Amino acid sequence: MKKVILISAMFYNILFGVEKYQANLAGHIVIDSKTMVEIPNDAPEFFKTYGKFSNFTREEKIGTFKSKGNRETDFYLPFKNQPIQGHSGIKYIPNEGVYWVLSDNGLGKKHNSYDAMLYVHKFKFDFENSKYELLKTVFFKDGDKKYPYPISSETSKERYLSGADFDLESIQIINEEFYIGDEFGPYLLHFDKNGNLKEVFDVYVEGKKLISPDNPSLKLNDKPNGENPKFNVKRSKGFEAMASSKDYSKLYLLLEGSIYDNNVYENEKGREFLRIIEFDLKAKKFTGKNYKYFLENNNHSIGDFNMIDDKYGIIIERDQKEGISNKACKENNIKNCFNKIAEFKRIYKVELDDKNHEARKISYIDLLDIKDKNKISKKPLVNDKFVFPFETIEGVDIVDNAHIVVENDNNFPYSSSREPNKTDDNEFILLEVKDFLRSK
């Protein structure tokens, strides 16, 4: 039976041209999960502690309760300062040799992230020596009241934004300014180089506005038996990924979930697809052009998207699982082991096909099957392989014609993917994938 399955998979790849390429570890940097950053001097006192509402009700005493994601981890909430965590987008700037790394909304939900500030870090990475330097942190704010709804620090002078206002998940940097994909609207946001909000764009697909359940425009009916407003994007399935054209004239925003339309999620013959939506930066509007990205499994998610050139790009596709096989649960006790180990963590090379309006998959690398020929890894190998077993792998960018950088979102302090009860560190890997990037 196993031989038949392997042969069938091989013929599938030949027929559809989705070929696997080998990834080789060329660098590995680890930032300890408990690394913090201080808030700006002019930020409200409220932001000096983090996680006061992580259980959705107020708890101000430091270290009151233990963090728990799929299992309990080794950290307590609330805590002082803001964490370097939740990395959900990465952008390499070749002429400076630096990496901008975006943090998400904090604790995962709009209503428990009021004290999580929104920011992006500028790093210098030395992959040869596995070292890093944090050059600066830009904190986002809405001092000019560009957002038409109240923000969590509405009455403060500087009006810093928090994870209760936006969930920042994807990033592009154009003319030193930040374009960021959000999941609460979902919106496209434009910030200047100092983090000041300049523009907020609603997003339309085929004439219909995209709305998530966290969009502040939604109003519940006054009557319990009345009709409530509808939305067409799942919670936390907004703009997880966003690429830009190589001439920086267009943005390509990629939803993490399928649009809900006519009482069904968009699909073809049962296979759901995600929309890549084109935005014209000069005209400052969506062009109406979009591409379909088909998931390998309807339960999968995407993590990030960047373009190699005008035609080809790379997209992370992953399952919702975490953990490594040699620490899998063997009995009913799931407190100190992985009960759903990572199985599908890939980066696909795609072609934006204008004829069929599809992001056609060409080839892939497997992030659970990375060679470490030069013994670079800072974490234990699994069956002689370097693996990236995180549920949320949410950053990828092209470094040069042979290398890409990949990062995890550690969902601090909740995710635990290498050790069942230890908070995940922030990891950045440099992969040598020359043949993969050249594949057609």
b/e per residue, 381-408, with b = 16+ CB within 10 A? ebeeebbbbbbbbbbbbbbeebbbbbbb
**pTM to 2 decimals?**
0.95
Is there a contact between 20 and 363 (Cβ–Cβ < 8 Å)? Answer: yes
What is the Cα–Cα distance from 440 to 436, expressed in whole angstroms? 9
Residue closest to 168 by CA, chosen among 182, 158, 156? 182
**pLDDT classification of 256: cutoffs 50, 70, 90:** very high
CA 372, 375, 379, 382 torsion-angle sign: positive
**pLDDT classification of 197: cutoffs 50, 70, 90:** very high
Beta 168-174 vs 131-139: how paired, if at all? unpaired
* 40 upstream amide cis, omega within 30 of 0: no
Q: Is residue 219 exposed (0-12), middle (13-18) or buried (19+ Cβ within 10 Å)?
A: exposed
pLDDT in tens, 111-139: 999 999 999 999 999 999 999 999 999 99
What lies within 8 Å, CB to CB, of 35 at 6+ separation is: 83, 84, 426
pLDDT > 90: what percent of the chain? Answer: 94
pLDDT at 78 over 90: yes
**pLDDT classification of 17: cutoffs 50, 70, 90:** low
pLDDT in tens, 270-289: 999 999 999 999 999 999 99
Neighbours of 246 (CB within 10 A): 12
Per-residue pLDDT, 332? 81
Neighbours of 296 (CB within 10 A): 15
pLDDT at 16 over 80: no
What is the Cα–Cα distance from 286 to 106, expressed in whole angstroms? 29
Is there a contact between 351 and 307 (Cβ–Cβ < 8 Å)? Answer: no
Computed over every residue of the chain, the mean pLDDT equals 95
